[in-house]
């Protein structure tokens, strides 16, 4: 028996910036910075289920009630059987 955990991984990165007006008075020129910027990142891992392979049969066991992925695994298993 082989059991493979299946997870959904989401990674996101955002960065942005802008420039302020170039009309800075000379006395404040060294104190003020004409640029503003920022960035952030996000990461998420969510378990979906397990792919169980036993005695030549493949089954997807879900952790929630969603069955779309289960149907895809069954379809892939059926296609594999037809190709053999």
> What's the average model confidence in pLDDT over 27-43?
74
- Mean pLDDT of the region 4-27: 81
Average pLDDT of the residues in 44-54: 88
Lowest-confidence region among 18-27, 31-40, 57-66: 18-27
- Band (pLDDT 50/70/90 cuts) for residue 40 is very high
What is the count of structural domains for the chain? Answer: 1
- Domain span at 73: 2-83
pLDDT attached to residue 9: 92
Short-list 8, 15, 20, 6, CA closest to 60: 6
pTM, full prediction: 0.47
Taking CA atoms, 62 is separated from 5, 41, 54, in Å, by 10, 29, 16
Q: Check residue 78 and give its pLDDT.
A: 78
């Amino acid at each position: 028996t082989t059991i493979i955990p299946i997870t959904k991984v989401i990674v996101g990165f955002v960065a942005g910036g802008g420039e302020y007006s170039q009309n800075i008075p000379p006395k404040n020129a060294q104190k003020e910075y004409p640029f503003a910027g920022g960035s952030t990142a996000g990461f998420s891992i969510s378990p979906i289920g397990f792919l169980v392979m036993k005695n030549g049969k493949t089954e997807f066991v879900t952790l929630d009630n969603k069955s779309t992925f289960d149907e895809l695994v069954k379809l892939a298993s059926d296609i594999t059987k037809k190709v053999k």
